[in-house]
Chains A and B, each alone.
Chain A
Amino acid sequence: MRRYLTDPEKYPQTRFDLVKEAVISGLVVLVLVVIASAALGVPYVKPLTIQQVATSEPVLFLQTAAHELDDTSAIAQYGPPYNNGTGSLQAIGSFHPQTLLGVTTPINPAQVDVLRPLSMAVPLDPALKPALSRWAAASRSQQDAWVNAYLQALSRASAAGSSVQVPMAADGPVPAMLSALRALGSGGLMSGALDRLNPVYRYDVAPSLLFLQGTALQQMAQKYDLLGGEWGIMHDELNYPGPWWLTPYTALYQIPPYSTSPAGDLMAAYSMLIILLLLLAIPFLPGVRELPNKLRVYRLVWRDWYHSVERGPGAATRSAQAEQRRQAT
């Protein structure tokens, strides 16, 4: 063990109070952050709610709900861990770790986001019951036809503020169902009806977030320049510093192939893992571990020491003696 310790004969010792240094360091940081918190405040932007979308973006709400009902939303097609789809399955050749753990958070968007909330709303709106029964009794192709007709009609809808007029179409019970769903949303009851993976302790907000995750959150993120191609999380926090320590990771998303490949996330994650392993391995990599010695930046850190050894009293004599010994050997 002694070999690790610095040689007191070669390196003279000076008095040192580690406790004092630790206390001063802690106090310096505390004073700095208290001043920053008091003077600059802290970032906060109110979360987006389904209620906001239902009232201020009624067409978007109805489109989202229609796609969820018809299993044509991004989440319905996503893949693990939500379902067995392949829409968002990332793979490099046959390497797709996304499938490794399987479907651990099963989400059926039609059920979770539309049909279950509506069945919960039946006691409040008994007229819903026949619409739901008609939907349940229809064939899959009939359901698809209704939703397609509804989506086409919705594209010609006229919206004024929170009200929306959808033209008549051969869309069966869909308008009644989705209007009732929007009523739930604009009343502020929908996220409570969605986040019921455990009906009492609602820690898991996957259903409501996945409902918002498409256009609604994208629109709001775009307003704040938070999209991935805009360095996303880096300027999280608006005018406050974001997690700037993620710069190398976020930088990957700005360049091909990360920015262009459908497996960009997978490639970025494993690239960062390789970088971490390289960082860990620096002391063991010949060439790399000698870099500091070659770069000589350390001479700034220990400049007083080198000054005393190389130019201080006796330095010239020691150098001459060393040179003599070197030549003698």
Chain B
Amino acid sequence: MSRRDHGSANWTAAVRKQAETFTWDMLLPTEQPIYVRSVVYSFGALTLGALVVVVLSGIVLAANGPFWWQTPGAGAFMRGIHYWGVQAFFFFMILHLTAQFFMGSWRLGRQGTWVLGVLSFAVSVVTAFTGYLSRGDFFSQWNQVQSKDAFNGAGIGGWFNVLNNGQIYGLHIAVLPAILIAMVSLHLLLVRRHGVVPPYPAENERLERGPAR
């Protein structure tokens, strides 16, 4: 076996080991620690629920095309579901992010979960923006001509061409959602694998342990 094969066996073995140690019970637990009792724990699930609504309504919009969603009636109604779904998505995601900050959710080896969450937020912002550009009304035109200066000035306008509806629409309905869904999936896997972060020590525990980090 060549060195390359060894290397390959090592990373494939690592993937296998992950698969062996990651069980269905971790993914869909039937029990949770007793401290998981707050409306705050719903924000993540509601964000995910909104993402599902946005993706499904987006699939219906893409299947029918721009003329359909710009026409009053079923198309406009479905675009409304997509639009309000995005509003709900950001509303719950920002609540989730804020709550996780105040809970110090990166503690005890959960830094990766935080990093993926923040990156998902950043990708969501760009994905939503390409949606505004793809709508095909005056606001799209205005945002296109205004934002071109921002992207050009930042140095990425030479590739990220907001005046090219084909590129922006492709990014909006395929590339960025694929990246976002992959990130959110990994984020969820990490949440399930590590379990929900325990509370900071109570007052009487602090006496025992000293200040918590």
Task: Please list the residues of chain A having a beta carbon within 8 angstroms of any beta carbon in chain B.
Answer: 1, 3-8, 10-19, 21-22, 25-30, 32-34, 36-38, 40-48, 79-81, 88, 90, 97-98, 100-105, 201, 203-206, 209-210, 212-213, 217, 220-221, 226, 228, 232-233, 236-237, 240-241, 243-246, 263, 265-266, 268-270, 276, 279-280, 282-284, 289-290, 292-293, 295, 297-298, 301-302, 304-306, 308-310, 315, 318-319, 322-323, 325-326
Check A97 against B118 for contact (C-beta < 8 Å): no
Contact of A97 with B139 at beta-carbon distance under 8 Å, contacts A16-B36, A282-B114 already known = no
Check A298 against B139 for contact (C-beta < 8 Å): no
Complex partner residue of B150 from A26, A30, A81, A269, CB under 8 angstroms? A269
With the chains together, A236 CA to B133 CA distance in Å?
A: 12
Check A309 against B138 for contact (C-beta < 8 Å): no
User: Is B115 on the interface with A (CB-CB < 8 A)?
Assistant: yes
With the chains together, A323 CA to B208 CA distance in Å?
A: 6
| Chain A residues whose C-beta falls within 8 Å of the C-beta of B196 in the assembled complex | 6
| Chain A residues whose C-beta falls within 8 Å of the C-beta of B159 in the assembled complex | 101, 104
| Chain B residues whose C-beta falls within 8 Å of the C-beta of A292 in the assembled complex | 101-104, 200
Check A45 against B137 for contact (C-beta < 8 Å): yes
| Chain B residues whose C-beta falls within 8 Å of the C-beta of A298 in the assembled complex | 102-104, 199-200
Check B138 against A46 for contact (C-beta < 8 Å): yes
| Chain A residues whose C-beta falls within 8 Å of the C-beta of B208 in the assembled complex | 322, 325-326
Contact of A47 with B202 at beta-carbon distance under 8 Å, contacts A33-B84, A280-B119, A305-B37 already known = no
Contact of A16 with B84 at beta-carbon distance under 8 Å, contacts A6-B195, A265-B149 already known = no
With the chains together, A319 CA to B195 CA distance in Å?
A: 27
Q: Which of B31, B48, B104, B198 has most chain A Cβ within 10 Å?
A: B104
Residue of B nearest to A266 (CB): B153
With the chains together, A210 CA to B50 CA distance in Å?
A: 36
Q: Which of A15, A25, A306 has most chain B Cβ within 10 Å?
A: A25
Check A32 against B35 for contact (C-beta < 8 Å): no
Interface residue tally for chain B (C-beta within 8 Å): 101
Residue of A nearest to B36 (CB): A16
With the chains together, A41 CA to B75 CA distance in Å?
A: 11
| Chain B residues whose C-beta falls within 8 Å of the C-beta of A297 in the assembled complex | 102
User: Is B176 on the interface with A (CB-CB < 8 A)?
Assistant: no
Contact of A309 with B141 at beta-carbon distance under 8 Å, contacts A25-B45, A37-B77 already known = no
Check A319 against B204 for contact (C-beta < 8 Å): yes
The 8 closest A-B pairs by CB, nearest first: A97-B155, A203-B166, A101-B158, A37-B80, A283-B106, A269-B154, A265-B153, A90-B153
Check A322 against B204 for contact (C-beta < 8 Å): yes
Check B138 against A28 for contact (C-beta < 8 Å): no
Distance (Å) between the CB of A258 and the closest chain B CB? Answer: 11
Sampled A-B contacts (25; CB under 8 Å): A4-B110, A4-B195, A5-B194, A6-B196, A15-B30, A30-B53, A38-B77, A41-B80, A48-B138, A102-B158, A217-B145, A226-B142, A265-B149, A289-B106, A292-B200, A295-B102, A298-B199, A301-B38, A304-B37, A304-B38, A305-B199, A306-B202, A306-B203, A309-B205, A325-B208
List B70-88 residues whose CB lies under 8 Å from chain A. Answer: 70, 76-81, 83-85, 87-88
Check A269 against B104 for contact (C-beta < 8 Å): no
With the chains together, A213 CA to B138 CA distance in Å?
A: 12
Distance (Å) between the CB of A108 and the closest chain B CB? Answer: 15
User: Is B212 on the interface with A (CB-CB < 8 A)?
Assistant: yes
User: Is B15 on the interface with A (CB-CB < 8 A)?
Assistant: no
Complex partner residue of A13 from B32, B106, B145, CB under 8 angstroms? B32
Contact of A14 with B34 at beta-carbon distance under 8 Å, contacts A29-B46, A33-B88 already known = yes
| Chain A residues whose C-beta falls within 8 Å of the C-beta of B212 in the assembled complex | 293
User: Is B207 on the interface with A (CB-CB < 8 A)?
Assistant: yes
B37-58 vs A, CB cutoff 8 Å, 1 = contact: the mask equals 1101010011011101100000
